[in-house]
A and B are shown apart, each in its own frame.
Chain A
């Protein structure tokens, strides 16, 4: 339980720091880079190495490649829905998560399993 709480606090702090950094940087497209900062990976991998070892962390990073590729597809769909179909940010970014799940699992299943 304490380990989960620690993970929660570390994850929350690291993600918030990167998000705040993205908020103070201009122009907007540059600030957007920080929306895909390795915040969760940095919060998680350090803890994983301590509890499970480096090989386990390396295996997680291998799968993260598929997750990152799916993140790229997710962003492309968000841009399309916002610019071509004029969806609101909430609707576009939330519904596109389906593409992240489908893309990440499909890529992992096809190439990394």
Chain B
């Protein structure tokens, strides 16, 4: 399936839809810093891969898909769950790519500048995620 952009989803959003993401993102980033400060980088590092926004995004997606079906006079409950499950499949692939990101930062950070390390690791995340997604699509 061809990857494309669809900005219509943004027009349907209300400002209140963005607030939980911002709050969760901010709070988890603060929490990761505080945990690392109190328990050391070993425990703090775990929270760099915490599923911070997934619950909020999934709930929003389910509501949106259910509404679409309801607008056509149908019960959209099943459709909402299927859409979230599909989204979660992509997120599972993203999590494998996130593991590669972490591995690269761990190995490169002591030897290269932080900017270069994070840039290379982000490129690796995108590359791994897209390649694995393409492979999964073909299966």
Contacts and interface: CB of A to CB of B under 8 A. Distances in A.
Contacts, number: 326
Contact of B44 (A37, A47, A60): A60
B42 A43 contact: no
Grouping DSSP codes into helix (H, G, I), strand (E, B) and loop, the B interface class, with mixed when no group exceeds half, is helix
A33 B91 contact: yes
Interface size band for A: 35 or more
Contact of A71 (B45, B51, B53): B51
Contacts of B1: 27, 30
Contacts of B4: 25-26
A55 B121 CA distance: 16
Interface in A82-105: 82-83, 86-90, 92-94, 97, 100, 104-105
29 contacts: A8-B26, A12-B25, A13-B25, A15-B26, A16-B22, A24-B10, A25-B4, A32-B87, A35-B87, A36-B54, A36-B95, A38-B125, A43-B29, A46-B114, A58-B105, A60-B45, A62-B45, A63-B41, A63-B44, A64-B49, A65-B99, A65-B102, A67-B50, A76-B92, A78-B88, A79-B85, A89-B58, A97-B51, A108-B46
Given A35-B54, A41-B105, A60-B41, 10 more contacts: A4-B33, A10-B29, A38-B98, A39-B52, A40-B52, A58-B110, A71-B98, A75-B88, A93-B54, A113-B42
